[in-house]
């Protein structure tokens, strides 16, 4: 047998792991309601018309060549304008890099920061590629707690406890996947103070920044004075174009502390040549164009969030926080005597109620005895899923 690398074989991704048993059931003719993947394009959400037109037009007009490694100048200028308007950051196109979505930005940033044995502070629970990619680059994911009773806000004292001499950065995901948390301004300020104390950069994942329900998103990039912040964003969520694989990141680094990291990242960017050229034209259209589609989409998402939250609060044996952003809800399994783990619970719900969730432990240790539900589908589908799940819970608790 030809052996594969330990680095690649060690990769785990809970969100897709649960798909295999679901597929087995479907092969037997069972209809499974899949609430496991955060992809709006699989439901009634599409990128707005002006972006789709710009993408097609770019291809038709011949923009099918390699572009600059750092991204097209016109897009980097559009990103500067968008981020100045949203976050009031004082940046120039030179601070911006365009990537194959946030996932490639993470690869660049972790690749440029980590030597073997270094660690990055990542939230627990968190979107799994954070731990997966840190490990892939030889690092150790150093998980910090977020506090459920406090709407899943980061525990600043826990972050302080976990900083050590090999810590290279603090990552924040806000609004959060999988918890739907929206971080308060005072939390972001405390986090920046702590990062400043230990001379650490902050990596801020803002892919859901305009997808909030009650409050407004606050970026560490907008509040920093001297702490270097790397902000990541892209087309996948707020612009509903997951499959286009386009994103960006920028440095807010008033004291130029990231000069060497920037150089390392640019080396990584050059060996992968460039991001998708025609998709960058679509991104220019999206970032400079009208945003009224978002109001319509957020109204749908709010209705779905309110519905699933209400239903879940009525189901015995679980409790849940109300999501303030993104399109995930992360209930807690209160009644634990019936299952050995959250994974067993999710598989039981799949086999019995035919609804597919993701087990919380797949998002880190603080996710244990929870599960994540994606509430992107229309209310009729959520209703069918919740009716079936409610019947399952009542049966299990009675049995």
103 lies in the binding site for ligand PLP (CB under 6 A): yes
Its sign, for the CA torsion 82, 84, 87, 90, is: positive
For residue 196, give both structure tokens. Answer: 């400043």
205 lies in the binding site for ligand PLP (CB under 6 A): yes
Q: Toward ligand PLP, which CB reaches closer, 181 or 261?
A: 181
127 lies in the binding site for ligand PLP (CB under 6 A): yes
Its sign, for the CA torsion 281, 283, 287, 291, is: positive
- From CA 218, how far away is CA 56, in angstroms rounded? 34
* Residue-by-residue DSSP string for 373-384: EE--S-HHHHHH
Query: Of all residues in this chain, which one has the CB nearest to ligand PLP in the complex?
Result: 101
211 lies in the binding site for ligand PLP (CB under 6 A): no
Q: Toward ligand PLP, which CB reaches closer, 15 or 393?
A: 15
Are the C-beta atoms of residues 320 and 312 closer than 8 Å to each other? yes
159 lies in the binding site for ligand PLP (CB under 6 A): no
We find the least distance from the C-beta atom of residue 286 to ligand PLP, in angstroms, to be 13
Binder to ligand PLP among 38, 48, 125, 325 (CB under 6 A)? 38
- From CA 175, how far away is CA 210, in angstroms rounded? 9
User: With CB under 6 A as the contact rule, which of the stretches 17-25, 101-109, 216-224, 277-285 interacts with ligand PLP?
Assistant: 101-109
Rg value, the chain, Cα: 21
Scan residues 351-390 and list those touching ligand PLP (CB under 6 A).
none
- From CA 45, how far away is CA 74, in angstroms rounded? 27
212 lies in the binding site for ligand PLP (CB under 6 A): no
We find the least distance from the C-beta atom of residue 235 to ligand PLP, in angstroms, to be 7
Bridge-based pairing state of the strands 318-319 and 328-329 = unpaired
242 lies in the binding site for ligand PLP (CB under 6 A): yes
- From CA 186, how far away is CA 77, in angstroms rounded? 31
- From CA 258, how far away is CA 201, in angstroms rounded? 8
Write the binding mask 139 to 158 for ligand PLP: x where contact by CB under 6 A, - elsewhere: --------------------
Q: Toward ligand PLP, which CB reaches closer, 87 or 177?
A: 177
User: With CB under 6 A as the contact rule, which of the stretches 70-78, 96-104, 331-339, 382-390 interacts with ligand PLP?
Assistant: 96-104
For residue 29, give both structure tokens. Answer: 């003719």
Q: What does the binding site for ligand PLP look like in residue numbers (CB under 6 A)?
A: 38, 101-103, 127, 173, 177, 205, 207, 234, 236, 242, 247
């Amino acid at each position: 047998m030809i052996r594969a690398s330990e680095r690649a074989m060690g990769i785990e991704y809970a969100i897709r792991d649960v798909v295999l048993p679901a597929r087995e059931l479907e092969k037997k003719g069972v209809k499974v309601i899949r609430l496991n993947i955060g992809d709006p394009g699989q439901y009634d959400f599409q990128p707005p018309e002006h972006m789709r037109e710009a993408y097609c037009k770019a291809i038709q007009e011949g923009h099918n060549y390699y572009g600059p490694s750092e991204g097209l100048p016109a897009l980097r200028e559009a990103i500067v304008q968008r981020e100045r308007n949203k976050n009031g950051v004082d940046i120039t196109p030179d601070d911006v890099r365009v990537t194959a979505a946030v996932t490639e930005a993470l690869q660049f940033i972790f690749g440029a920061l980590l030597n073997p044995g270094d660690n990055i502070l990542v939230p627990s629970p968190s979107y799994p590629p954070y731990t997966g990619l840190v490990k892939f680059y030889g690092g150790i994911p150093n998980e910090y707690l977020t506090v459920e009773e406090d709407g899943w806000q980061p525990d600043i004292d826990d972050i302080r406890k976990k900083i050590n001499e090999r810590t290279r950065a603090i990552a924040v995901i806000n609004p959060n996947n999988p918890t739907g948390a929206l971080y308060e301004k005072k939390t972001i300020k405390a986090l920046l103070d702590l990062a400043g104390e230990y001379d650490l950069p902050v990596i801020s994942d803002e892919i859901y920044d305009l997808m909030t329900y009650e409050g407004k998103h606050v970026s560490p990039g907008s509040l920093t004075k001297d702490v270097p912040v790397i902000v990541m964003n892209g087309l996948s969520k707020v612009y509903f174009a997951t499959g286009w694989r386009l994103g960006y990141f920028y440095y807010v680094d008033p004291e130029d502390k990231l000069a060497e990291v920037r150089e390392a990242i640019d080396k990584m960017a050059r060996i992968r040549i460039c991001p998708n050229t025609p998709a960058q034209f679509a991104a220019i259209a999206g970032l400079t164009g009208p945003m009224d589609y978002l109001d319509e989409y957020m109204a749908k998402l709010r209705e779905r969030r309110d519905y699933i939250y209400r239903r879940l609060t009525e189901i015995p044996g679980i409790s849940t926080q109300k999501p303030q952003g993104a399109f995930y809800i992360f209930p807690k399994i209160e009644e634990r005597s019936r299952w050995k783990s959250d994974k067993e619970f999710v598989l039981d719900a799949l086999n019995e109620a035919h609804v597919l969730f993701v087990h919380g432990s797949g998002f880190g240790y603080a996710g244990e005895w929870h599960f994540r539900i994606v509430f992107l589908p229309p209310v009729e589908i959520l209703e069918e899923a919740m009716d079936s799940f409610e019947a399952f819970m009542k049966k299990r608790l009675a049995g």
